[in-house]
Amino acid sequence: MWLNEVAAGKPIMLVGVATILFMVFGWFGTVIRESVAGTFNKQVDTSFRMGMIWFIFSEVMFFAAFFGALFYARALSVPWIGGEGDGALTNFFLWKGYAPAWPTNGPSEIGGAFETMPAWGVPLLNTLILLSSGVTVTIAHHALRAGKRKELLVFLGLTVLLGATFLWYQAHEYMEAYTQMNLTLGSGVYGSTFFMLTGFHGLHVTLGTIMLIVIWLRCARGHFDRDHHFGFEAVAWYWHFVDVVWLGLFLFVYVL
């Protein structure tokens, strides 16, 4: 309704978002309180772990689809319209004179001329920031297992700060892409795969940072010990997962 410019659309959307946030905070808060009160048995613990597996499975499939779109466009469909494989007639009749290359916005140059984001700059800096956050979360994990509470809080806090720094630089990169490089979501297949992959990854970093903040607060309140810390371990693992997705992104979107 909001996108169709119905007057009531925006307030209804905001009420919906507020309701979701209220429900999520209430639900997760209840689960945390029940966990701390010790009302969960082993079956409930197993159900949380099963939930994590299904969540990660859906995430893997999600990113596989977008990486798949990138690889398909680069390795198959762009060469086909350039006349490779079975695409000779397609190239001759529809896209005559089109020489396939990557990055490209296709033979009709959808979105107009654009520049690509160079790897040797903000993307590399962001890679180093995210890798550092992977190191700090691992140190925090080690500290939790070793029972060193202060070290845990310091390094988990550093991970949150590094995550926020990553997001700040990515927002900066997007503004530069839109305002100075004419690289937009509409820049053909390169622009759409670039923004879909990096954008959804950024959304995951945002979610991961929020989860790390919650876990930091829970660590500060002493919710975890060296043998009982599934909440911490799941979020730490999720952060490693998001970091690995970025490694793939950096290598396949920016470098190779």
Partner 1 sequence: MTTLIIVAFLIVILYNLGAGLYYMMSDKGQTDRTLNALKRRIGLSVLLILLVILGIWLGIIKPHDLGR
Residue 9 is which amino acid? G
Q: Can you tell me whether residue 143 is helix, strand or coil?
A: helix
Size of the site for partner 1 (CB under 8 A): 44
Using CB under 8 A as the binding rule, whether residue 103 contacts partner 1 is answered as: yes
Using CB under 8 A as the binding rule, whether residue 216 contacts partner 1 is answered as: no
Question: Which of 40, 67, 200, 237 is in the footprint of partner 1 by CB under 8 A?
Answer: 237
Using CB under 8 A as the binding rule, whether residue 36 contacts partner 1 is answered as: no
Q: Burial, 161: exposed, middle or buried (Cβ in 10 Å; 0-12, 13-18, 19+)?
A: middle
Near partner 1 in 149-208, by CB under 8 A: none
Near partner 1 in 41-70, by CB under 8 A: 45, 49, 52-53, 56
As a whole number of Å, the end-to-end CA separation of the chain is 41
- Could you give the angle at which helices 188-220 and 149-180 cross, rounded to 10 degrees? 160
Using CB under 8 A as the binding rule, whether residue 228 contacts partner 1 is answered as: yes
Using CB under 8 A as the binding rule, whether residue 84 contacts partner 1 is answered as: no
In eight-state DSSP terms, residue 41 is: -
Look-up of token digits 């639900």? 27
**Stretch binding partner 1 (CB under 8 A), from 28-36, 76-84, 112-120, 161-169:** 112-120
Residue 210 is which amino acid? I
Q: Burial, 159: exposed, middle or buried (Cβ in 10 Å; 0-12, 13-18, 19+)?
A: buried
Using CB under 8 A as the binding rule, whether residue 125 contacts partner 1 is answered as: no
Residue 2 CB, shortest distance to partner 1, in Å, is: 36
**Stretch binding partner 1 (CB under 8 A), from 2-10, 20-28, 191-199, 231-239:** 231-239
Q: Can you tell me whether residue 12 is helix, strand or coil?
A: helix
Question: Which of 177, 189, 236, 249 is in the footprint of partner 1 by CB under 8 A?
Answer: 236
CA angle 206/156/209 to nearest 5° reads 5
In total, the chain counts a number of residues equal to 256
Q: Which of 193, 213, 204 is nearest to 167 (CA)?
A: 204
Question: Which of 119, 122, 158, 214 is in the footprint of partner 1 by CB under 8 A?
Answer: 119
If the CB atoms of residues 10 and 142 are measured against partner 1, the closer one turns out to be: 142
Indicate if the alpha-carbon torsion angle 97, 102, 106, 111 is positive or negative. Answer: negative
Residue 208 CB, shortest distance to partner 1, in Å, is: 14
Q: What residues line the site for partner 1 (CB under 8 A)?
A: 45, 49, 52-53, 56, 101-104, 115-116, 118-120, 124, 127-128, 131, 134-135, 138, 141-142, 145, 226-230, 233-234, 236-237, 240-241, 243-244, 247-248, 250-251, 254-256
